[in-house]
Structure 1
Amino acid sequence: MSSAERREEILRLEGVSLEYRTGRGRAHTVVDDVGFGLERGGVLALVGESGSGKSTLARTVTGTLAAHARITAGSVVFDGEDLTRISSRRYRALRGNRIGYVPQDALLGLNPLLPVGRQAAEPLRVHTGLDKDERRARVLELFDRVGLRRVESVYDSHPHELSGGMCQRVLIAAAIAAGPDLVVADEPTTALDATVQRRILDLLADLAREEGLSLLLVTHDLGVAAERAGRVVVLREGRVVEAGDAERIVRRPRAEYTAQLVASSHIDRSPLALAESRRGRTIPADAAAPEAVVVAEGLEKTFRSRTGDEVRALRDVSLSVARGTTLGIVGESGSGKTTLVRVLSGLARPDAGTVRIHGEELIHDREGATDRRALYRKLQLVYQNPYSSLDPRQTVRSLLEEPLTGYRLGGRGERARRIAELLDLTGLPSAVAGRYTAELSGGQRQRVAIARALAPRPEVLICDEPVSALDVTVQRQVLDLLDDLQRELGLTYLFVSHDLGVISEVSDDVLVLQHGDVVESGPAAALLREPRTAYVRELIAAIPRPAFA
């Protein structure tokens, strides 16, 4: 690279290595000889799975590394200044002023005890001479610019009073408040709905273009990276696997790992193509229509807020799921997905309507539950987050044995054989049985959650956002596992997600919820080919897809 080209870069990392020291004084290398450059006004994406070093590099640039982290080699040059050689005081002068930072978790990035307006104004208080009224006016202007409504009310709100998307917009406003030259965005949309994700990414792109900002985007989703960044750096286990133009990376990956990321994210296939490839596989075209296993009719559910207002979570929701097929249930946060899951699984009583499994009505109270034990066995749940759904104090063997004991299925020897069978079914080694969930990867934890749901031999699985918290390659493994299990065991799925891209791949039929109403439903391919409502068209448009794909 010529010196002229280097002068155009606002950020350059050369040979950066970094280690974390444990309590016993041992060192663990997490970044090893990493180098890349970001052009002024450009967008560069760091891509890789959990543990690849993406967030550590983001913290290296922003000067927010943990106390036990140490840079052992290399340089981090920002606009001609090596950040590895500056004092903490100098870093504080840069951070928030010339370097903005958008952390991954909006709620953890905000102080729950302070109004968000005061927090967004903090860079202005530290780095500018604006008085209190001027700072407030500037923040209100920024809140309006990042797409927040009722900005005066938002300014005085605490984080828990706002949605995840609103909190993320507050953090972006704070990051750009003092007019930085570089913004580091660490997984800024991972926990957000697809449509909110698109709006946040559009906002960052607009700011980069209008303000001349340079953007370092950290993401595990190669689809997002290819859509939004000019250049991509692929990381694995702290090392650069390959780097280059986004289009070249996607079309002609040189590394096997990059090719795996491309295949896992299905960048090269449209949602419609995915839905059409599934059509006819679960139910052959010449086969007789299978019986409906799950039927819900006229479900209604209303909640009352602390202020006494009524919130209609479900309004006249009906659905039918045929044996051996998958119904995808999609919608944004607040659409009623979680309430519907709770009603369908018998965990919440609807105000009106019925749920039937094989024609037998599901009872939503304790009365008669003992007599319906066999019915409840037929339907099991796979939750979104295995970290919270699995007891960390129990071994995997205990977790899998618990539902067998609860349903009084077999003696000790039979239960042991069933546990071994479940581990084999879900692709887990037998040695996992004696481990605790803290000793497992995220993908292994989700496999344990699936195995636990399969333990009593159900006919129906309700999968509530089962892959939204997983890296794209682990997500691919779990989706493939669920597909294999459906083929092998003839399972019926209700698959809940806010991501229509995932829904299009796994579903035979789709039901779209918005504010508790069913806005569209029908075969997945037909719905994607000819959406009837603006809301579904918006969901389709929100699926990350680069222009060159």
Structure 2
Amino acid sequence: MSHDSDAKRPANILEFSRLSLEYRSRARPPVSVITDISFSLRRGEVLALVGESGSGKSTIARAVTGTLAPNARITQGSVVLDSTNLVDLPAKQYERLRGRTIGYVPQDALLGLNPLLTVGKQAAEPLRVHTRLDRAARKRRVLELFERVGLRRVEQVYNSYPHELSGGMCQRVLIAAAIAAEPALIVADEPTTALDVTVQKRILDLLGDLTRDNGLSVLLVTHDLGVAAERAQRIAVLQHGRLVETGPSELIVSKPIEAYTRRLIDASHLARPTVAIAEARAAQREDAQTSSLGTRGGAVPMVLASRISKTFSNRTGAPVAALDDVSLSIARGRTLGIVGESGSGKTTLMRTLAGLTQPDEGDVCIGGQPLSHDPVAKRARRELYRTLQIVYQNPYAALNPRLTAGRILEEPLTGFGFGGRAERRRRIAELLDLTELPASVAGRYTAELSGGQRQRIAIARALAVRPEVLICDEPVSALDVTVQRQILDLLDGLQRELGLTYLVISHDLGVISEISDEILVLQHGQVVESGTALDVLRDARTDYVRELIAAIPQYRTPWNQRRN
């Protein structure tokens, strides 16, 4: 159903006309992924494609960029770019379009970059292919773009390999490469998923400037309805490969016609200001503590870090301070949210608390026991990993694709000598039930699971040996809003049921405000602000934290306000 009027529109740069697409395999009947989809993208416009996993968003993006899987087949319809039908376009003609006419930002930054080449050389490739600039001019252009997308120490980044950069930095490199040759169309598949809110704002501001000043058009694939509502002129909502609703962003968000669209909005943070979320959580936790026996707080902090400092050396041998005099304390059964931009020290702090990185100075205690890095103290380290486990950001990369979910859950049980085979089977069944997964999942491989199911398996694996502390590294950043809601509810329920202590690392302050009791903000390796979530979000004391809060995508509408 469409909100669009019949008024005369500007010329379209991209048109989908009754497109249908299926995936084929020898072992199974064809699977329909896209069914009879029609929409257009105007010149100088940002159009956002939103929907849950499996809705067909990324497949549509790949149909434009010519990067469909080999077993994909378009069964009907057309995709027309500037009067050129892209369906069955020869590879050589696509090569002339990519980089010059079509810029593409893939979702997975690490997979989008060649690990054997420096990122500077890769970002300059569109300029080498599509312009007459010499090598020095190409480098100047790339360094300028690196600065525009918010990278620091651009000369050093230019000469770095992908593994030497964070995921957010790699994503910014890909964005710089996509806009290097000034294409007419950018296809951006979740371009800001791995980025902190301030960097996200800078990237989206840059894309907005390019659409306004250069007439650039953007096809934006995103699960973040805040980004879609704030930055796109129009939104197209997809479900199961069908277009269920399309129209101006303000109407889609304020007066959604379809129940599916309303469900997406309800699951997002659009209708719930960050401070209001923190207030609701604080009130809920206060009520829970009042009605309990008061055992959760405990006299001894579950996690205690005192004056942690860590310095690394870069490729030139120059020292880089990753952490500088960082201290924190978390009571049993509570959640500490850790936020900060790329390079702020979040990952180093996480690895230090988990015993994976040895600090230069300072001490860490888990459950009242000092964390030892003495290689002789193997028993103490083994006990640490019974107490503390990690849930990683990317469950697909963190889980062995060659093992079934049941085998993945059995591995830590076997490693820690948990009972016999029958007892381990019972524990696996308990873990699936605990994470609200059907028993049949145990026999399936990760490639056969949805993103939400994979994350549940990652959580179940972390819980296998009954730890008391979970470090959750961006646990929902790659998930759609409805799946985010399910995982956040699951984590909250597990904490209440099992008395778990959480450290949650996230660049999404909406997530942090919803799940955290306290917040610690890092900048350049230092703690710039800490306190209760409500105090930090409502009464930020530093310009940096105020900038983080101001950068959160928020779209206020009468419909949203009526639901508060």
TM-score by length of 1: 0.89
1:391 to 1:3, Cα distance in 2 relative to 1, 3 A? closer
Deviations 1:146-186 (A, max 9, x none): 55667667666655565555554454444444443332222
Q: Distance in 2 between matches of 1:166 and 1:391?
A: 26
2:540 paired residue number: 531
1:427 paired residue number: 436
Bigger shift: residues 335-344 or 37-46: 335-344
Q: What is the correspondence of 1:479-494 to structure 2 with a 5 Å cutoff?
A: 479-494=488-503
SS at match of 1:279: helix
Point out where structure 2 has 5 or more consecutive residues left out of the alignment: none
- 2:408 pairs with 383, 399, 423, which one? 399
Which amino acid in the other structure matches residue 53 of structure 2?
A: S
1:79 to 1:502, Cα distance in 2 relative to 1, 3 A? same
Which amino acid in the other structure matches residue 213 of structure 1?
A: L
1:330 paired residue number: 339
Bigger shift: residues 300-309 or 533-542: 300-309
1:67 to 1:461, Cα distance in 2 relative to 1, 3 A? closer
What's the CA shift for 1:397?
3.0
- 1:290 pairs with 297, 300, 304, which one? 297
2:393 paired residue number: 384
1:187 paired residue number: 190
SS at match of 2:307: strand
Q: Distance in 2 between matches of 1:130 and 1:308?
A: 33
1:56 paired residue number: 59
2:43 paired residue number: 40
Which amino acid in the other structure matches residue 13 of structure 2?
A: I
- 2:530 pairs with 513, 521, 535, which one? 521
What's the CA shift for 1:512?
1.1
CA contact (8 A) 2:48 2:232 kept: yes
CA contact (8 A) 2:341 2:507 kept: yes
What's the CA shift for 1:462?
1.9
Bigger shift: residues 205-214 or 535-544: 535-544
- 1:259 pairs with 253, 256, 262, which one? 262
Q: Distance in 2 between matches of 1:216 and 1:32?
A: 19
Q: What is the correspondence of 1:33-182 to structure 2 with a 5 Å cutoff?
A: 33-84=36-87, 88-114=91-117, 119-124=122-127, 126-127=129-130, 146=149, 159=162, 164-165=167-168, 167-182=170-185
Q: Distance in 2 between matches of 1:131 and 1:401?
A: 56
Q: Distance in 2 between matches of 1:394 and 1:113?
A: 28
- 1:203 pairs with 182, 202, 206, which one? 206
Deviations 1:272-294 (A, max 9, x none): 11111100323437576822322
Point out where structure 1 has 5 or more consecutive residues left out of the alignment: none
TM-score by length of 2: 0.87
1:216 paired residue number: 219
SS at match of 1:388: helix
Which amino acid in the other structure matches residue 52 of structure 1?
A: S
Q: Is 1:28 equivalent to 2:37 in the alignment?
A: no
Bigger shift: residues 61-70 or 427-436: 61-70
Q: Distance in 2 between matches of 1:182 and 1:52?
A: 22
What's the CA shift for 1:469?
2.6
Bigger shift: residues 324-333 or 226-235: 324-333
SS at match of 1:482: helix
RMSD: 3.1
Q: Is 1:248 equivalent to 2:251 in the alignment?
A: yes
Q: Distance in 2 between matches of 1:256 and 1:4?
A: 27
1:370 to 1:72, Cα distance in 2 relative to 1, 3 A? same
1:502 paired residue number: 511
What's the CA shift for 1:203?
0.5
Q: Is 1:445 equivalent to 2:454 in the alignment?
A: yes
CA contact (8 A) 1:234 1:258 kept: yes
CA contact (8 A) 1:14 1:76 kept: yes
- 1:307 pairs with 280, 301, 316, which one? 316
What's the CA shift for 1:334?
2.2
Q: Distance in 2 between matches of 1:114 and 1:378?
A: 40
CA contact (8 A) 2:66 2:94 kept: yes
CA contact (8 A) 1:30 1:238 kept: yes
Q: What is the correspondence of 1:270-289 to structure 2 with a 5 Å cutoff?
A: 270-284=273-287, 286=290
Q: Distance in 2 between matches of 1:2 and 1:354?
A: 64
SS at match of 2:429: helix
SS at match of 1:49: coil
- 1:17 pairs with 20, 38, 55, which one? 20
1:140 to 1:423, Cα distance in 2 relative to 1, 3 A? closer
Bigger shift: residues 28-37 or 329-338: 329-338
SS at match of 1:401: helix
Q: Distance in 2 between matches of 1:177 and 1:23?
A: 41
SS at match of 1:242: strand
1:487 to 1:146, Cα distance in 2 relative to 1, 3 A? closer
Bigger shift: residues 435-444 or 419-428: 435-444
Which amino acid in the other structure matches residue 438 of structure 2?
A: P
CA contact (8 A) 1:227 1:547 kept: no
1:400 to 1:36, Cα distance in 2 relative to 1, 3 A? same
1:94 to 1:526, Cα distance in 2 relative to 1, 3 A? same
2:353 paired residue number: 344
Q: Distance in 1 between matches of 2:126 and 2:340?
A: 36
CA contact (8 A) 1:397 1:434 kept: yes
Q: Distance in 2 between matches of 1:161 and 1:349?
A: 19
Which amino acid in the other structure matches residue 186 of structure 1?
A: D
Count of matched residue pairs: 549
Q: Distance in 1 between matches of 2:19 and 2:427?
A: 49
CA contact (8 A) 2:269 2:510 kept: no
Q: Distance in 2 between matches of 1:64 and 1:192?
A: 24
Deviations 1:450-482 (A, max 9, x none): 222222222222222222232222222111101
1:455 to 1:245, Cα distance in 2 relative to 1, 3 A? same
Deviations 1:396-455 (A, max 9, x none): 333333333444444444333332222211101122223333332222222122222222
